[in-house]
């Protein structure tokens, strides 16, 4: 058989696969159908009669569309499409929908497939002989006996028909494949410039539009893999910039090791510092109310920047020492809702906020050191107060 010889290399696994194949594979895809038809059914048409004449009325593109539908969609859809595609209500395909469905891969019944083959043969002939489409009754006898020899013609006529049918086919899987990620295959990549096009990735949208590079597999799985790998690589670059000394290291494994070491060292530092704080702690009272009272007296900075104004208590940002002492005597203002702390510390935070929201690193250092110095100095005072 010409068919089996020509397409022997191609496995039959394409039948149920994704439909976004490049154009070159489409002809092979259809070749599978014909091979299945040829090998599993007899070539002599058993179903004679009215069905042929009915089928002859169909234009070739719709017939090929029917062929595609039998392969890709369910029987109901195929039947619906067939009946609508025909247009006229009087022309109904005599073989009922089940034969169309059975072609999809289960056990094939003889009459239906021969009818399909007849259709295919006929319409390929019609396609090549488009100018002789008057009634088509002349073609009745010729295809029936020459079905095997038509296979080669069929193969040649497939490519022009696939282009028209491609649109129809690509639309249907579109409707069924709409899930989280959608990949747009750029078929022009292969025929366009020889440079590699960079694959784009938008992280904001729910869809990830990835362009297949030249010479790379356009399988949906490999595209997903590539998109994911690039996401990971982008984030790894981010981490590399963060961790000191990672820029010079070559290779992802070492970089990752370095990152992990950095995280571990930071956590160990936190533990070490908390131990030191615990050792220091009993000496120092962390009662910030009194700390800040003295600290404000010592810290006469004019360092309240504009950002302090944006905080919850902008009206207090510019208070001076005198107003602070005055406010101390007054009941503390109600806290804003930003700080979900308990009532004890809320007034304290108000005051501390004013000082602690300087922008500079040095500012904060000064503040923290002054706080601590103030606390250390205050210790005897506090003892007196508590007594």
**For residues 278 and 329, which CB has a smaller minimum distance to another protein in the complex?**
278
Nearest distance in Å: CB 289, another protein: 9
**For residues 219 and 285, which CB has a smaller minimum distance to another protein in the complex?**
285
- The residue to which tokens 């009946």 are assigned: 83
**For residues 217 and 266, which CB has a smaller minimum distance to another protein in the complex?**
266
Nearest distance in Å: CB 371, another protein: 7
Of how many residues is the chain composed?
387
Nearest distance in Å: CB 205, another protein: 10
Nearest distance in Å: CB 140, another protein: 56
Nearest distance in Å: CB 294, another protein: 14
Contact, 172 vs 199, CB < 8 A?
no
Distance from C-alpha of 26 to C-alpha of 158, rounded to nearest angstrom: 9
Distance from C-alpha of 273 to C-alpha of 279, rounded to nearest angstrom: 10
Nearest distance in Å: CB 276, another protein: 5
CA–CA distance from 311 to each of 140, 328, 365 (Å)? Answer: 89, 20, 20
Distance from C-alpha of 146 to C-alpha of 286, rounded to nearest angstrom: 100
**For residues 204 and 315, which CB has a smaller minimum distance to another protein in the complex?**
204
228: number of Cβ within 10 Å? 12
**For residues 51 and 375, which CB has a smaller minimum distance to another protein in the complex?**
375
Contact, 357 vs 308, CB < 8 A?
yes
CA–CA distance from 50 to each of 57, 94, 110, 340 (Å)? Answer: 11, 8, 17, 83
User: Three-state SS across 173-241?
Assistant: HHHHCCCCCCCCCCCHHHHCCCCCCCCCCCCCCCCCCCCCCCCCCCCHHHHHHHHHHHHHHHHHHHHHH
Nearest distance in Å: CB 349, another protein: 7
Alpha helices in the chain (DSSP H): 2-6, 23-40, 50-56, 60-72, 75-86, 97-102, 110-128, 141-145, 147-176, 188-191, 220-242, 252-280, 288-298, 306-309, 321-329, 346-356, 361-386
Residue 75 phi, psi (nearest 5): -65, -35
Nearest distance in Å: CB 335, another protein: 12
**For residues 94 and 364, which CB has a smaller minimum distance to another protein in the complex?**
364
- The residue to which tokens 């539908």 are assigned: 69
**For residues 133 and 261, which CB has a smaller minimum distance to another protein in the complex?**
261
**For residues 152 and 267, which CB has a smaller minimum distance to another protein in the complex?**
267
Nearest distance in Å: CB 360, another protein: 10
**For residues 45 and 358, which CB has a smaller minimum distance to another protein in the complex?**
358
102: number of Cβ within 10 Å? 16
């Amino acid at each position: 058989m010409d068919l089996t010889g020509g397409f022997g290399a191609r496995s039959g696994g394409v039948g149920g696969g994704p439909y976004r194949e490049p154009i070159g594979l489409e002809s092979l895809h259809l070749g599978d159908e014909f091979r299945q038809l040829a090998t599993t059914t007899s070539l002599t048409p058993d179903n004679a009669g009215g069905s042929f004449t009915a089928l002859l009325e169909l234009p070739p593109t719709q017939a090929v569309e029917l062929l595609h539908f039998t392969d890709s969609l369910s029987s109901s859809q195929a039947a619906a499409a067939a009946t609508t595609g025909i247009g006229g209500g009087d022309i109904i395909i005599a073989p009922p929908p089940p034969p169309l469905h059975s072609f999809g891969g289960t056990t094939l019944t003889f009459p239906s497939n021969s009818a399909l083959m007849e259709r295919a043969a006929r319409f390929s002939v019609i396609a090549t002989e488009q100018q002789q489409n008057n009634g088509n009754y002349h073609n009745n006898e010729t295809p029936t006996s020459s079905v095997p020899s038509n296979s080669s013609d069929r193969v040649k006529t497939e490519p022009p028909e696939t282009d028209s049918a491609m649109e129809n086919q690509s639309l249907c899987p579109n409707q069924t494949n709409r899930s989280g990620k959608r990949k747009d295959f750029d078929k022009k990549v292969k025929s366009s410039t020889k440079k590699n096009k960079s694959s784009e990735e938008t992280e904001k949208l729910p869809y990830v539009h990835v362009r297949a590079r030249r010479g790379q597999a356009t399988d949906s799985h490999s595209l997903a893999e590539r998109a994911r790998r690039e996401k990971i690589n982008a984030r790894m670059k981010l981490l590399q910039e963060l961790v000191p000394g990672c820029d010079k290291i070559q290779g992802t494994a070492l970089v990752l090791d370095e990152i992990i070491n950095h995280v571990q060292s930071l956590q160990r530092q936190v533990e070490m510092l908390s131990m030191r704080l615990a050792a220091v702690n009993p000496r120092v009272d962390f009662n910030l109310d009194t700390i800040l009272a003295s600290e404000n007296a010592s810290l006469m900075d004019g360092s309240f920047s504009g950002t302090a104004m944006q905080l919850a208590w902008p009206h207090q940002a510019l208070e001076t020492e005198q107003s602070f002492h005055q406010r101390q005597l007054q009941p503390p203002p109600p806290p804003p809702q930003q700080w979900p702390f308990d009532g004890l510390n809320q007034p304290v935070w108000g005051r501390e906020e004013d000082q602690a929201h300087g922008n500079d690193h040095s500012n904060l250092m000064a503040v923290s050191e002054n706080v601590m110095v103030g606390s250390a100095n205050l210790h005897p005072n506090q003892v007196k107060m508590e007594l």
